[in-house]
Amino acid sequence: MIVSPLMTVMVDAVRKAARGLKRDFGEIENLQVSRKGPGDFVTAADRKAEATLREALMKARPGYGLIMEESGVIEGQDKTHTWHVDPLDGTTNFLHGVPHFCISVGLEREGTIVAAVIYEPIKDELYLAERGKGAFLNNKRLRVAGRQDLADSLALYGSPYLGRGSHPRLLKELAAVMAVTGGVRQTGSAALDLAAVACGRADVYWERDIKTWDMAAGLLLVREAGGFASSADGGADPMTAGSVACGNEVLQRELVAILRKVGG
């Protein structure tokens, strides 16, 4: 387990926001839901959780900037530090009563993600990582799975919302990956998919057209668990590319090769 002042700040903020999400999840039918785009919903619970996180993080580190799903970019006096915050990753699951969603917070320092917390409140699973200190699920050190053959692997993927990204491209990629892997799943939460790779529950994961708050924390988890992550096309920086492909060294490389072949 990682014990540091920074991790204490992040965990405290996430747990505080999670209490509200759990209450609201128990009263789904009473939530006020508004549309912010085709297939992309924002709920009262989402906004409340973000406000809680924003208040807690700004109080603890008042100079840091924030990039938040609902509030957008909030400039800070300290230009070297930026929080990437998703208060409710898996909103569609949440709205439909599916207990698979999380809060994700990653801290970027001078262009590098250095700290991460992902919390899945229904299972009470807390994922932590600090650069150079490893990745943990509750008190257990994480390592990516060691499988070396895609035929034995479980692959996770994310699909774009209506009106965002290319569904035809995804279908081609999906067909190619299904043909060589042991199984393919979609869970509806990018952050938890990355966490699943970090803890060995899944072997590889890819997704396009996602934002920094979707993946900042999860990328550090994967890397600190011994995994490799790039853009879906093999580029070094998923955050800039807005896409990700990850796994252990062997399978991540093979996954990227498949995605490139389909794209080419």
The reply to whether 124 sits in an annotated binding site is no
The CATH number assigned to the domain with range 5-141 reads 3.30.540.10
Q: What is the pLDDT of residue 31?
A: 72
Give Cα 8 to chain centroid, integer Å: 20
The rounded distance, in Å, linking the Cα atoms of 221 and 144 is 10
This prediction has a pTM of: 0.95
Q: Per the annotation, does 88 bind a ligand?
A: yes
Burial grade of 189 (CB within 10 A; 0-12, 13-18, 19 or more): buried
Domain boundaries, the chain: 5-141, 150-263
Q: What is the pLDDT of residue 160?
A: 85
Angle, vertex CA 56, rays to CA 191 and CA 51, nearest 5: 70
Does 69 carry a binding-site annotation? yes
Give me the pLDDT at residue 38, please. 52
SS (H, E, C) the chain: CCCCHHHHHHHHHHHHHHHHHHHHHCCHHHCCEEECCCCCEEEHHHHHHHHHHHHHHHHHCCCEEEEECCCEEECCCEEEEEEEEEEEECHHHHHCCCCCCEEEEEEEECCEEEEEEEEECCCCEEEEEECCCEEEECCEECCCCCCCCHHHCEEEECCCCCCCCCHHHHHHHHHHHHCCCCEEECCCCHHHHHHHHHCCCCCEEEEECCCHHHHHHHHHHHHHCCCEEECCCCCCCHHHHCEEEEECHHHHHHHHHHHHHHHC
Predicted pLDDT of residue 69: 87
- 23-46 per-position pLDDT tens digit: 999 888 677 677 665 556 678 889
- State yes or no: 120 annotated in a binding site: no
> 86 a known binding residue?
yes
Q: What is the pLDDT of residue 37?
A: 59
150-263 is classed CATH 3.40.190.80: yes
10-residue stretch averages of pLDDT, the chain, 264 residues long: 92 97 85 64 86 97 94 94 97 91 98 98 98 96 98 96 82 97 97 98 97 97 98 95 98 98 80
